[in-house]
Amino acid sequence: MNTIISAAKKCRRALSLFAILLINVQSFAQKPADPQPDKMPVALETDYALSALPPQLRPGATVYLLDPAKGYYIARKGSNGFICFVMRTAWEWAEFRNDIITAISYDAEGARTIFPIYQDVAAMRAAGKLTALQVRNIVVDRIKKGIYKAPARPGISYMLGPVMRTYPGTPAENKVLTMHMPHYMFYAPYLTNADIGNIPDGQQDGPFLVNPEAMFLGKRKAPYGYIIVPAGEKERAKIIADNKALLQRLAAYSPYFKK
């Protein structure tokens, strides 16, 4: 009888220990997940995405919208080779945030070689199985393996929207700002600011080069550099004035866009 009682006590202790371990495992598994981007209203997301382009290119552009549960999808098929979308994940910074909201467009070459990274990152984030750091590591590895390729010819990305919310620095900094900075971006694979005469490195008093991937791949090894040319003062003022209604809609949608 004593043997049976002793065995029962051991069994209870084992079950109690198992229960404690199970609770701890469940608590760990149920930790708050990384935030998914919220779904922007379709009309607002469409108009904001199109604002990245100059007016004459908007009617023929393909518009991609974001389904936070799946990734980007074609909302409107275009005919002129240009695409536009709202970027919600800046993968280089290895952070999943809800306050990255920036309208971007690409010509046909950028749509072929650069936009697929945004598509894959959005899909990986939507799946919820990887951390932001793991997503960045996957992208960097695919660049090294040549799965993601540099643009094969010169081209342009218009970012002429009246406002954007993103990182102004490098992946070494995680400060996010709301900026009125319409600009033009020309593909400059593997270049540095020294190559275009912008020294000290990256002074923003004229054309300058940005290439966040260089921090991970090394100088002259990163294929997604851009020579950035800010819109002139008069052009910038006109863009903001022409998009007054859009700015009001964006401010109503998100506090990040309020003055």
Summarize pLDDT for 174-214 with one digit per residue, the tens: 899 999 999 999 999 999 999 999 988 877 778 999 999 99
Which pLDDT does position 15 carry in this prediction?
A: 36
- Give yes or no for residue 23 having a pLDDT over 90: no
pLDDT at 5 over 60: no
- Average pLDDT value for the chain: 88
What gap in Å lies between CA 205 and CA 57, rounded to an integer?
A: 28
Helical H runs in 30-60? 42-50
pLDDT of residue 227 exceeding 80, the answer is yes
Tokens of 256: 């990040």
At residue 259 the predicted structure's pLDDT band, cuts being 50, 70 and 90, is low
Residue 67: pLDDT band by 50, 70, 90 thresholds? very high
**How much of the chain is helix, strand and coil, in % rounded to 5?**
40, 20, 40
Please give the pLDDT value at position 181.
Answer: 94
Nearest to 224 by CA among 236, 232, 216, 234: 216
Strand order in the sheet with 71-76: 71-76, 62-67, 83-87, 102-106
Query: Could you tell me which residues are beta bridge partners of residue 156?
Result: 186
Question: Does the pLDDT at position 7 exceed 90?
Answer: no
Q: Which of the given ranges, 10-14, 16-20, 198-202, has the highest pLDDT on average?
A: 198-202
In terms of Cβ atoms closer than 10 Å to its own Cβ (0-12, 13-18, 19+), residue 199 is exposed
* Length of the chain measured in residues: 259
Cα 225 from Cα 43, distance rounded (Å)? 31
What is the C-alpha to C-alpha distance for residues 175 and 195, in angstroms, rounded to an integer? 28
The C-alpha atoms of residue 224 and residue 222 are separated, in whole angstroms, by 6
> 209: Cβ–Cβ under 8 A, 6 or more apart, which residues?
188, 191, 192, 193, 195, 196, 198, 202, 225, 226, 227, 228
Q: How confident is the model at residue 27 (pLDDT cuts 50, 70, 90)?
A: very low
CB atoms within 10 A of CB 71: 18
Query: Among 13-27, 187-201, 202-216, 232-246, whose mean pLDDT is lowest?
Result: 13-27
**In terms of C-beta density within 10 A (0-12 exposed, 13-18 middle, 19 or more buried), how is residue 240 classed?**
middle
User: CB 21: neighbour CB atoms within 10 A?
Assistant: 10
pTM exceeds 0.75 for this model: yes
pLDDT, tens digit, 9 for 90 and up, residues 38-51 = 999 999 999 999 99
CA distance 256 to 177: 9
